Structure 1
């Protein structure tokens, strides 16, 4: 049995950064990754990087007018090749960064607990056991596959991972799920030239957002040609010679309806990837959603075992996983001043066109808390910058506490929102009054100068 100072199961953002940190402290580290296609984790291989690379290519595709569908298919194939080149390079770079470190040993195989201190590794060639005083679980999340008849092993049914390997642009695409992932893919494939239909089981899209924001998002995406069907409970999928037929039930009327498409994308959520870890042998408990239970320093119910990133549930973002690394770093080598309890608020972005970004409370949440709050909002078309780039759709919305003058939340559905939301995040994190953004001197013309007006409240 080989002994290490630390074992990390999963080559994701938080785990790989932690491995380098531990190695700098002369710890001997074992990094276990079950797939040679996942060095670097979800973000680099099947998440943020490839999707954003394709979204950028899709935006470029919208600039080409009058193309035939065959020409758009050719552009799509080039986009897939571009995406593959980007991910291949980053995957290799991530592997080399760890494998080239003398204090880190990378094992390509599946890790499974034998006991709280021992992990069995099964590679293509052999099975062996490792032991360490510190073990970190960084296995991420996987797509939830709903119990729909006809989708198992169906070549016309894809997940958000497998559809990015599809080299032929589908003429008709059905997306099952109107959440953030579904909307990102809907926006992207519509920009490439596919006819996109989104099926949502609930009566409204993106329920976490205020209804005025959600309505504006739906309106803008419908202008791109995306069709939305709400209250749609998918019953089955059957394949014909060229197309798949999807049957869904309208839960409002009880009617059964059918749709045809070349491809069907399941965007039905993600769940923590824990099933093969044998956590019971390690004494590591999970909650009702299968997420590993951790304390504010990411310790599991077996304290020398910690969980990093998506596997512990909560917000599934690469930058949250990176902050998990910082929490562990400070707990092991610093003054323990970082914890999950003090990192709010956290912003997020949905990369539709234009992108949707938010931080803090929305209006409905502020109302439920019975706060004395003020709301300000306006359409994107009033911002000078959007006219210089020809992107005039969307809206901005801010909420402040009328008693404390602090910013409660902000939602930006506008060009460059994924960048400028960080300005609001900094203001909130440093405890600034809303007047800080109201009176700040921004460059002109820029999207950020819109905060001068967005935070102009009358108290």
Structure 2
């Protein structure tokens, strides 16, 4: 059995921990079954944003006439978009070479599974056998996969998911028609992309709102925009059947209130009904690692699992599925394991200031509580809105009051204290505009707040009892570095300053 200082399973955000271990001279094992780089690089936020950026340009050109620029109709060059998309995905090959070049790193291509708490088997992809390894520290960053609903006929008819779309089913040309099952961030982003490419898009949503985890005003504004541009949106639906007919796929849905049946005929179906954790192959039943009923690994504020020395980060632990959240968690683990001066210098996770971005058109950026969440939490809630059209820059951009594309900012405040509870932006560059509020809300003296109190190593119990604090000085580059920013967005140019200042990368 090979002995390591740390085992890192997954090559998304978890590689931040691997980098720290390598830098400090630890013996590291890295295990990856699929493409290197994690969901974000290979089938998630980065390839989709390459496509979204092209789609944005198509939509923006439609507005140019309002500001006196005539360029004609814009169309998407699908071959170029595809080439640029796959250029990013194919970068994953270089990640293996990068880590394999280190003398203190062994990189395994295969599926990891637990034999016991600190012992893992690796079933090598090339079929050459099984390797057994152990380490006192293990970091699980295996991510998640598309959740595929059990709809009669769906498997037989065939469908796309993020995995297959950015795998062997990437279309040579845009589909003539597409039904998207689900209207969370993934669903509405793909709707924007394919509509801009000329596809006849239908969104079929179980909920009564698009992006239902966002503030209700954001959902309504996005719905109005999508319907105005010709995207067919069907809300409050149960998908009851899929069948094939005359070379097309027929999605049969039932209104959850009226019972009305709707049939949507399309060339292809894209399933965007959330994600599930990639834990099946880990065989967690051979360990003391506790999970939630749907399989997510339980973690605390230090990203510890219920087994001392085993950590879980990113999509696999059930917090909102954003790469910047995984990076943030990996930074915390790396800092506490390898860089903290002492226990008083330990960092911990907080999710009340988690920035969220949906790269729809218009974009949505938010942090903190929605109005409904704040009311439910018992705050004396006040809200305010300001529209893009109220500013000189908004006018310069051709945005007029009353336009369907007149974006706005909504602030949610505790009227008793004037504290900011949430900020929600919908419109051009929302992913950048809301970041100052993320920084503000993350600043100040932050007390250690327990997450899942039952998960506690002896050290964690001690730190909770001490009631340690972390002073997030708003003028400090360290505070900037410890504040999340949405990925991938241009705000990272500013927010990643600390990493370069410290020469950590």
Is 1:142 aligned to 2:139, yes or no? no
How far off is 1:360 after superposition? 0.8
Q: 1:223 to 1:431 in 2, by over 3 A?
A: farther
Separation in 2, partners of 1:96, 1:241: 48
Query: Residue 464 of structure 2 corresponds to which residue in structure 1?
Result: none
Q: 1:343 to 1:240 in 2, by over 3 A?
A: closer
- Give CA-to-partner distance per residue, 1:281-340, whole Å, 9 cap, x none: 122121112111122211211112111111011111111111112221232231344554
How far off is 1:361 after superposition? 1.3
Matches within 5 A, 1:322-333: 322-333=327-338
- Give CA-to-partner distance per residue, 1:248-291, whole Å, 9 cap, x none: 11222223221100111111110111011101112212111211
Is 1:126 aligned to 2:139, yes or no? no
Is 1:39 aligned to 2:36, yes or no? yes
Matched position secondary structure for 1:271: strand
Query: Residue 455 of structure 1 corresponds to which residue in structure 2?
Result: none
Is 1:265 aligned to 2:270, yes or no? yes
Query: Residue 25 of structure 2 corresponds to which residue in structure 1?
Result: 26
- Give CA-to-partner distance per residue, 1:404-436, whole Å, 9 cap, x none: 22211110001111012111111122259xxx9
Matched position secondary structure for 1:190: helix
Query: Residue 407 of structure 1 corresponds to which residue in structure 2?
Result: 420
Structure 1 spans left out of the alignment, 5+ residues: 437-447, 449-459
Which of 82, 87, 90 lines up with 1:88 in the alignment?
90
Separation in 1, partners of 2:188, 2:94: 31
Separation in 1, partners of 2:346, 2:163: 33
Query: Residue 321 of structure 2 corresponds to which residue in structure 1?
Result: 316
Query: Residue 106 of structure 1 corresponds to which residue in structure 2?
Result: 107
Is 1:380 aligned to 2:388, yes or no? yes
Matches within 5 A, 1:48-87: 48-62=45-59, 63=61, 72=76, 75-87=77-89
How far off is 1:341 after superposition? 4.7
How far off is 1:198 after superposition? 0.7
Separation in 2, partners of 1:427, 1:297: 23
How far off is 1:387 after superposition? 3.4
Separation in 1, partners of 2:394, 2:102: 47
- Give CA-to-partner distance per residue, 1:40-60, whole Å, 9 cap, x none: 111111111000001012223
Matched position secondary structure for 1:152: helix
Query: Residue 456 of structure 2 corresponds to which residue in structure 1?
Result: none
Are 1:20 and 1:98, in contact at CA under 8 Å, matched by a contact in 2?
Answer: no
Q: After the TM superposition, which of the residue ranges 190-199 and 384-393 deviates more from structure 2?
A: 384-393
* RMSD after superposition: 2.2
- TM-score normalized by structure 2? 0.80
- Give CA-to-partner distance per residue, 1:135-160, whole Å, 9 cap, x none: 111100111110011222644x1112
Matched position secondary structure for 1:112: strand
Structure 2 spans left out of the alignment, 5+ residues: 63-70, 400-404, 446-473, 475-490, 492-505
- Give CA-to-partner distance per residue, 1:378-411, whole Å, 9 cap, x none: 3222232233334552221012223322211110
Is 1:368 aligned to 2:376, yes or no? yes
Query: Residue 201 of structure 2 corresponds to which residue in structure 1?
Result: 196
Matched position secondary structure for 1:187: helix
Is 1:9 aligned to 2:14, yes or no? no
Separation in 2, partners of 1:116, 1:173: 45
Separation in 2, partners of 1:96, 1:57: 31
Matches within 5 A, 1:282-431: 282-333=287-338, 334=340, 335-336=342-343, 337-342=345-350, 344-390=352-398, 392-431=405-444
